[in-house]
Amino acid sequence: MSKTIAIAGMGWLGQSLAQRLHILGYKVKGSVTSLAKAEMLQKSGFEAYPIEISETGIKGPVKVFLKEVDFLIIMIPPGLRRNTGADFVLKMTHFLEQIELSAAKKVILISSTSVYADDQGIVTEKIHPKPDSQSGKQLLQVEQLFVNKTAFETAIVRFGGLYGGSRQPVRYLAGRKELNGGNAPVNLIHRNDCIGILIEIIKQDAVGFIFNAVNPKHPKKKEYYFKKAIDLKLDPPTFSEEGDEEIYKTINSVNLTEQLNYSFKETLE
């Protein structure tokens, strides 16, 4: 019998993941934040549910969404980058209550490498995060909430900057002058590798682990984004001069190799 995978937050990454899982023979269902989005996905052949999670609770058929689920993948955007004052911890606490009431026994929680501070330098999953931003602190708190639950097992996946398809970070930087952090290493991951890692976790039942999901190549930002801008025929960004004494975080992974034996499919040049 094929496994049923539920994807909470079926957006740019979730839809591509759902398509790949369907091809592999899994039953897939997803949640989105509005009825209009759900109807659009249903017309495309997806089993989609309109579910809105807020600080005050959950609206929508969450119990039906979580029914008979083997793996629940949570990739709900925390909405913390825009400094809206959102309480992501409270939102996920509401969702946790519903997960505990469901039959789901395996969860993959998508987090972010922002749980690490810049001054932590080179980090792997063996290094305890010390977030220095409000978003990083909330994400780490949510990770701990899930890991401490005994009703199900959780795999934490900390993605770096996402790119792929039309989503290229250099588009936001093109033409900008005197940017900071030119010597900082990029910590990026292609959507294809995001999907590959998540599928391997499902195939291998690799819950109970934390995975730093970032391409192992870390060129300097000023070099990488210059080349990418030229490749895409964009005006390259420029970076201000800085000393070599600056400390920047470099995200590496031990568990992708030791636990999943995962090899990256996309090159980062």
SS (H, E, C) 68-107: CCCEEEECCCCCCCCCCCCCHHHHHHHHHHHHHHCCCCEE
pTM (two decimals): 0.95
**What's the confidence (pLDDT) of residue 79?**
76
Q: Indicate if the pLDDT at residue 187 is higher than 90.
A: yes
Q: Indicate if the pLDDT at residue 265 is higher than 90.
A: yes
Q: Give me the residue spans of the domains in the chain.
A: 4-164+189-216+249-258
Q: Indicate if the pLDDT at residue 80 is higher than 70.
A: no
Q: Which residue has the higher pLDDT, 105 or 80?
A: 105
Q: For residue 209, give Cα distances in angstroms to 26, 157, 185, 201, 204.
A: 23, 9, 25, 10, 12
Whether the CB-CB separation of 220 and 156 falls below 8 Å is answered with no
**What's the confidence (pLDDT) of residue 44?**
87
Compute the distance between CA of residue 75 and CA of residue 44 in angstroms, rounded to an integer.
20
AA letter at 5: I
Radius of gyration of the chain (CA): 19
**What's the confidence (pLDDT) of residue 77?**
87
Q: Indicate if the pLDDT at residue 82 is higher than 60.
A: no
Architecture of the domain defined by 4-164+189-216+249-258: 3-Layer(aba) Sandwich (3.40)
Q: What is the tens place of the pLDDT at every residue in 121-162? A: 999 999 999 999 989 999 999 999 999 999 999 999 999 999
Main-chain dihedrals φ then ψ at residue 49, nearest 5 degrees = -125, 135
**What's the confidence (pLDDT) of residue 223?**
95
